[in-house]
Amino acid sequence: MNDRPNLDLELMDRVFGMITNERDRQVSKWGKQEHSDLRWYAILGEEFGEIGKSLCEGVDPTEEIVHLLAVGVAWLEHKITDAGRPQEEGR
Task: Give burial (CB, 10 Å; 0-12/13-18/19+) of 68.
Answer: buried
> What pLDDT score was predicted for residue 6?
83
Radius of gyration, alpha carbons of the chain: 15
> What pLDDT score was predicted for residue 4?
72
**Amino acid, single-letter form, for residue 25:** R
For 18-28, how does the pLDDT look when each residue is reduced to its tens digit (9 = 90+)? 999 999 999 99
Res 89 pLDDT > 70? no
